Amino acid sequence: MPDTRNSWFDKSMTLRECEMICLKNCSCMAYANLDITGGRSGCLLWFEELIDMKELHENGPEIYIRMASSELEVSTVQQAGIKGKKGKKREIVAVTLALLIGLLLLGMSVTLYLQKKKRKNSQLNKDGNVMNLEQGYTDKGQKEDLKLPLFDLAIIAHSTSNFSINNKLGEGGFEPVYKGMLEGGEEIAVKRLSKSSRQGLDEFKNEVICIAKLQHRNLVKLLGCCIQGEENMLIYEYMPNKSLDYFIFDQTQSTLLDWPKRFHIINGISRGLLYLYQDPRLRIIHRDLKASNILLDFDMNPKISDFGMARSFRGNKTEANTNKVVGTYGYMSPEYAVDGLFSIKSDVFSFGVLVLEIVSGKKNRGFYHPDHHLNLLGHAWRLYKEGRSLELIDEALWDSYYPTEVVRSIHVGLLCVQQSPEDRPSMSSVVLMLGGEGILPQAKQPGFFTERNVLEAVGSSRKKAAGSVNEMTITLFSAR
- Spatial separation of the C-alpha atoms in residues 455 and 211, rounded to whole Å: 43
Distance between alpha carbon 81 and the CA centroid of its chain, in Å? 40
What pairing do the DSSP bridges indicate for beta strands 282-285 and 63-65?
Answer: unpaired
- CA-nearest of 88, 6, 104, 99 to 46 is 6
- DSSP code of residue 122: P
Q: What is the DSSP string of 176-242?
A: EEEEEE-TTS-EEEEEE--TT-HHHHHHHHHHHHHHTT---TTB--EEEEEEETTEEEEEEE--TT-
Q: Has 288 been annotated as catalytic? A: yes
Q: Could you say which of 3, 52, 288, 347 is catalytic?
A: 288
Question: Which amino acid, one-letter code, is at 203?
Answer: E
- Spatial separation of the C-alpha atoms in residues 102 and 69, rounded to whole Å: 13
Backbone angles phi, psi at 135, to 5 degrees: -75, 130
- What length is written for the chain? 480
- Spatial separation of the C-alpha atoms in residues 317 and 3, rounded to whole Å: 43
What pairing do the DSSP bridges indicate for beta strands 302-304 and 311-314?
Answer: unpaired
- CA-nearest of 387, 377, 416 to 266 is 416
* 3-class DSSP assignment, residue 52: strand
Q: Which residues are paired to 225 by β-bridges?
A: 150, 234
Known catalytic residues? Answer: 288
